[in-house]
Chains A and B, each alone.
Chain A
Amino acid sequence: MNSILESFSKAISLILHLDAELLGIIVLSLKVSGTALVVAALFGLPLSVLLGFRKFPFKGVVISMLNTFMGLPPVVVGLFVYLLLSRSGPLGFLALLYTPSAMIIAQSILAFPIVTSLSHSAIVAVDPIIKQASMTLGATPFQVSLAVVREAGYGIMSAIIAAFGRVMAEVGAILIVGGNIAGFTRVMTTTIALETDKGNFELALALGIILLGISLFVNFALHFVQQRGAVQARS
């Protein structure tokens, strides 16, 4: 019991003194997950708009696949990206394995279905009267789509926040493709796993507290966004 309390107090001290190693790990985590989120949103949002407005063959299959992939096991994604980027793999020539870029690719794959599927749901949930109102005022089809997407704004933000929460807490995929190299690919979740194995609980606990704090912040943000969306829906 004493050793737990001692570790906890050292962890708090590490956080309060903002240890350089700790800071480097946090910054890299945010950089990798943030970039992955931007990449996922760049591909996912246009696809969600396409799914929301266009009819095309196998659209239902695409939506079902996206919904299924929302629950993709991170280790499977890690394995898939590893095979792609390994020296004998089709993208081996890029030499990206065990780099932050590989971690970004893996996390983008994890975030993509969440951003796309939840954004699509938000878009199709917009009252069809918005589309008609926009048309009556002389909007072009593109302007009509923009008006609908704007109305789905809170839902789309929720999708992005949910995806961020998922990738920040993820460990399996980035451990496989990043390799947990100190000062290069070591992020919060992989450090916690490693330091716990080594019995170095102070750093693991410090990172755990920060990760929990970020998760809490993300969930508060999500709750706030959803509440605002709910208030508007009631109005």
Chain B
Amino acid sequence: MSLLLSVSDLWKAYHGTPVLQGASFSFEGNGIYALMGDNGTGKSTLLRICALLERYDRGEVHYRAQGQLLPHDRELRRRITLVLPRIGVFNTTVFNNVAYGLRIRGQERGAIGDRVHRAIDFVGLGQKSKQAALTLSSGETQRLGIARALVIDPQILFLDEPAAFVDVRNREIIEEIIVRLKEEKKATVILATHDRRQAERLADRLLILSEGRLTAP
């Protein structure tokens, strides 16, 4: 059951400074959407609002499944997820970090192991599942963030600058993972990036956030 997201006439200001000024768009169908814009244009704010983590001043955020409008409740929140630029590593092993999303959903211990290992393998951290997550490199940490998100099989995955603080090699690995997410997991990925080339390499659809509004290039 695919999940469709649309935002319309979205407004948000911080301490009187407008960030979003009537942003509208419909994210329909699987694929990769790249949200471009310079730093400070409100990409992260838009993703956080879409991921139901932040309130907005005006406008509408609608999620639909099979034509039905879905309430913004916990059930919906658990069908989408956002990977932050700094992922927030829990002070435990790689395995436990990835298992977190399943444990809080009350998944049985027996069912968790396989899914967690598959997610860790998917991002290429299979050899490091027992390692303390805080000792990973920045590129590996970013991949851990993606594994932690994909283990819960989100229908929409928001990625906020997933390769902003990593070296070229890790950036390539992360981009490869994003493409595989679309192809193998059939996920809808909404990616915020300031890197136009990266957006062009990955995205099926490009969007530009400028002066608080979304436009096609």
Contact = CB atoms under 8 A, between A and B. Distances in A.
A137 B135 contact: no
Nearest to B74: A140
Interface stretch (B78-86, B118-126, B174-182, B199-207): B78-86
Contacts of A127: 88
A150 B97 CA distance: 13
Contacts of B90: 130, 133, 147, 150-151
A153 B90 CA distance: 12
B87 A137 contact: no
A147 B134 CA distance: 16
A188 to B, nearest CB: 36
Interface string B50-86: 0101000000000000000000001001100111101
Contacts of A136: 51, 53, 81-84, 149
B53 to A, nearest CB: 6
Contacts of B77: 138
A139 to B, nearest CB: 5
Nearest to A154: B91
Contacts of A232: 91, 134
B105 interface: yes
B100 interface: yes
B91 A138 contact: no
Contact of A138 (B81, B83, B89, B135): B81
A61 interface: no
A137 B84 contact: no
B104 A133 contact: no
A131 to B, nearest CB: 8
B101 interface: yes
A130 B135 contact: no
A147 B97 CA distance: 11
Nearest to A151: B91
A137 B53 contact: no
Contacts of A138: 74, 77-78, 81, 101, 104-105, 152
Interface of A: 127, 129-130, 132-140, 143, 147, 150-151, 153, 232, 235
